[in-house]
C-alpha cells in the first residue's frame, strides 16, 4: 500500500485512501449521504460522475442497441448488463459461497445481507442494531413519529424520502417511473425495480441460517425467520395477547370478546 494513503483513513472501517476527496466520497457509504440529485426524477447519487451518467437516460438518446430484442440503452454498461438476461451469464462469484450474480451490485448486496453480521449502529430507544447510520436514522423516526419529508404540492408529509417520492409520482404525476424492460411493470423507486429484476433472473441472495432456504428480498427473509422463532412482537390492545404476524393480531382483534371500539396494535421493542 502507498505510504501516503495512510494519511486519509476512514474512522468507521479503517480503510485508507490516497486523497481526502476519495475519503470524503467513501464516507458516504457509511452515512448514506447522496448530495447529487437529478433535476428530472430526483434520484440521488454519491458522486457527480454517477449523476452525469444517469442524466443521459433523460436525454432521449439511446445509441446502444440489443441485437436480441428491441431494447436500447443510453450507456454501454447498461447494454452489457442487459445482455446477461439473454445469455444467462453470471460473472460475479461470491468468494464465501457458491452463488454467482449477473451484476456486481447484486453480489455486494448478497455479501452485505448474507455474509456480514457487522452492525455498529444501535438505536438508543430499543437497542436494535443497524449496518449503516443512514438506516439507523430512518428507524429512529418510527420511535419519534417524525415525518421530515414534506410534499410541496399538498399538506402530506412522510417518514421516509422513498414514501414522498412515491406520493409525488402517484398523486402529482411528478418524477419518472422505473420500468422493467422485461415485463414493463412500473416502480416508483429504482431499488424496487432492482429487487423485481432479481425475480426475472432467478437470483435469491438472502438465505435463512436455520433452514438454508433462499429468498428474493430481505423483507421476505425476515418474515420467514419468524417461523423459527418464538418471538411475538404484535400485541392486541384489547386483551394483551401477542402474535408473530400483524395480520394475525388484526384477525384476532375482530373476534376478541373485549371490544374497545378501535384497534390498538403495537409492536414490542424488547
What's the pLDDT tens digit per position in 6-64?
Answer: 578 888 787 888 888 888 888 888 877 888 888 777 778 888 888 877 776 666 667 78
* DSSP 8-class letter at 150: E
Within the chain, residue ranges assigned H as helices are 20-31, 48-59, 76-87, 104-110, 133-144, 161-172, 190-201, 218-225, 246-255
Read off the pLDDT band of 2 (50, 70, 90).
very low
Over 70: is that where the pLDDT of 196 sits? Answer: yes
Q: What is the mean pLDDT of the chain?
A: 77
Per-residue model confidence (pLDDT) at position 156: 93
What integer pLDDT is reported at residue 5 of this predicted model? 43
Name the percent of the chain lying above pLDDT 90: 4
- Between 225 and 165, the more confident residue is 165
| pLDDT score at 89 | 87
**DSSP 3-state assignment of 160?**
coil
pLDDT at 146: 85
CB 233 within 8 A of CB 242: yes
Tell me, what DSSP letter sits at residue 41?
A: T
pLDDT for 111 beyond 70: yes
User: Cell 422493467 appears where?
Assistant: 180
Please give the Cα distance from 201 to 216 (Å, whole number). Answer: 10
**Is the predicted pLDDT of residue 153 greater than 90, yes or no?**
yes
**What's the whole-number mean pLDDT along residues 72-96?**
82
- Spatial separation of the C-alpha atoms in residues 48 and 215, rounded to whole Å: 34
Comparison of pLDDT for 139 and 263, the residue scoring more: 139
260 has a pLDDT exceeding 60 = no
- Tell whether the model's pLDDT for residue 3 goes beyond 60: no
Separation between Cα atoms, residue 249 and residue 246, nearest integer Å: 5
Strand order in the sheet with 242-243: 242-243, 234-236, 265-267
Confidence at residue 68, expressed as pLDDT on a 0 to 100 scale: 81
Q: Looking at residues 157-164, what average pLDDT do you find?
A: 87
Q: Place 1 in a pLDDT band, splitting at 50, 70 and 90.
A: very low
Counting residues of the chain whose pLDDT is more than 70, the rounded percentage is 80
Give the pLDDT confidence score for residue 168 in this predicted structure. Answer: 92
User: pTM, whole model, 2 decimals?
Assistant: 0.41
* pLDDT greater than 80 at residue 213: yes
| Residue 259 pLDDT exceeds 70 | no
Please tell me the predicted confidence (pLDDT) of residue 237: 60
Least confident of 12-16, 111-115, 176-180, 234-238: 234-238
- Euclidean distance between CA atoms 134 and 139, whole angstroms: 9
Amino acid at each position: 500500500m502507498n505510504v501516503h494513503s495512510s494519511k486519509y483513513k476512514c474512522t468507521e472501517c479503517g480503510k485508507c485512501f490516497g486523497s481526502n476527496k476519495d475519503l470524503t466520497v467513501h464516507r458516504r457509504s457509511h452515512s448514506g449521504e447522496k448530495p447529487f440529485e437529478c433535476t428530472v426524477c430526483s434520484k440521488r447519487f454519491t458522486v457527480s460522475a454517477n449523476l452525469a451518467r444517469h442524466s443521459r437516460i433523460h436525454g432521449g438518446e439511446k445509441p446502444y442497441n440489443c441485437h436480441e430484442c428491441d431494447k436500447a440503452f443510453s450507456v454501454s454498461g447498461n447494454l452489457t448488463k442487459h445482455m446477461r438476461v439473454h445469455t444467462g451469464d453470471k460473472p460475479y462469484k461470491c468468494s464465501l459461497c457458491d452463488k454467482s450474480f449477473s451484476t456486481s451490485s447484486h453480489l455486494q448486496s448478497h455479501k452485505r445481507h448474507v455474509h456480514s453480521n457487522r452492525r455498529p449502529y444501535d438505536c438508543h430507544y430499543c437497542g436494535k442494531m443497524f449496518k449503516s447510520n443512514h438506516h439507523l436514522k430512518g428507524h429512529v423516526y418510527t420511535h419519534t413519529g417524525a415525518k421530515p419529508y414534506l410534499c410541496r404540492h399538498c399538506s402530506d408529509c412522510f417518514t421516509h424520502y422513498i414514501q414522498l417520492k412515491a406520493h409525488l409520482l402517484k398523486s402529482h404525476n411528478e418524477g419518472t417511473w422505473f420500468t422493467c424492460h422485461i415485463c414493463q411493470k412500473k416502480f416508483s423507486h429504482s431499488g424496487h425495480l432492482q429487487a423485481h429484476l432479481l425475480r426475472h433472473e432467478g437470483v435469491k441472495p438472502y438465505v435463512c441460517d436455520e433452514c438454508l432456504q433462499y429468498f428474493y428480498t430481505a423483507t421476505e427473509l425476515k418474515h420467514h425467520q419468524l417461523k423459527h422463532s418464538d418471538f411475538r412482537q404484535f400485541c392486541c390492545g384489547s386483551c394483551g395477547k401477542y402474535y408473530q404476524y400483524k395480520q394475525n393480531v388484526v384477525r384476532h382483534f375482530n373476534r376478541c370478546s373485549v371490544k374497545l371500539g378501535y384497534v390498538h396494535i403495537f409492536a414490542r421493542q424488547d
